[in-house]
Amino acid sequence: QVQLVESGGGLVQPGGSLRLSCAASGSVRSRSIMAWYRQAPGKQREYVAFMTSSGSTDYADSVKGRFAISRDNAKNTVYLQMNSLKPEDTAVYYCNAMPNYDSWGQGTQVTEK
């Protein structure tokens, strides 16, 4: 089983920045694609970005140019640098692999003031 622990969320001013982290432990698949997702109140969870183990990235159109995903393969940790935050970025942010592990972490709340 895999444990995913997200951190780094918080309250942020419009246009502000945050850096999220997600540490994976347990039965982690080697060279897995890692991704960020988010779920806003009353909405379904949506895809935000992914990064392959070799460094290729992809972003949802809504965050392209503002968010940057990175990872430290040695630490099984993935990051999400979020800049120029907008009210619509308010959500609980989760990480997972692609394809998804069965278990999800608790997520980290990002709220724009």
What local confidence, expressed as pLDDT, does residue 113 receive?
Answer: 83
Give the count of alpha carbons within 13 A of 106, CB side only: 6
Q: What angle do CA 78, 98, 55 make, to 5 degrees?
A: 50
What local confidence, expressed as pLDDT, does residue 58 receive?
Answer: 98
What local confidence, expressed as pLDDT, does residue 36 receive?
Answer: 98
| In 3-80, alpha helices (H) | none
What local confidence, expressed as pLDDT, does residue 3 receive?
Answer: 95
Among candidates 29, 39, 42, 18, which has minimal Cα distance to 98? 29
